Amino acid sequence: MKRQHIAAPGGKPWLRPAAAAALAFALCVLSSASYGQAEDRSIRPFKGQVSQAALDDLRRRIAATRWPDKETVADRSQGIQLAKLQELVRYWGTGYDWRKAEAKLNSLPQFITTIDGLDIHFIHVRSRHPDALPIVITHGWPGSIIEQLRIIGPLTDPTAHGGRAEDAFDVIIPSMPGFGFSGKPPGTGWNPDRIGRAWIELTQRLRYKHYVAQGGDWGSPVSSAMARLAPPGLLGIHINLPATIPPEVGAVLASGGPAPAGLSEKERAAFDALDAFYKKRRAYGVIMGTRPQVIGQALTDSPAGLAAWMYDYNDGEPERLLARDDFLDDVTLYWLTNSAASSARLYWETGGQSVLSAAAQKTTEISLPVAITVFPEEVYRAPETWARRAYRNLTYFNEVDKGGHFAAWEQPQLFSEEIRAAFRSLRRLAGAN
**What is the set of active-site residues?**
217, 347, 405
User: How many CB atoms lie under 10 A from the CB of residue 140?
Assistant: 23
Residue pair 119/190 in contact by the 8 Å Cβ criterion: no
Which DSSP state fits 279? I
Beta-sheet pairing, 118-125 with 133-138: unpaired
Measured over all CA atoms, what is the biggest interatomic distance in the chain, rounded to whole angstroms?
67
What b/e sequence results for 109-134 when a residue is b if at least 16 CB atoms lie within 10 Å of its CB, and e otherwise?
ebbbbbbeebbbbbbbbebebeebbb
Residue pair 101/332 in contact by the 8 Å Cβ criterion: yes
Query: Between the CA of residue 309 and those of 76, 85, 219, what are the distances in Å?
Result: 14, 10, 20
Amino acid in the structure at residue 358: A
Q: Positive or negative CA dihedral for 148, 149, 152, 158?
A: negative
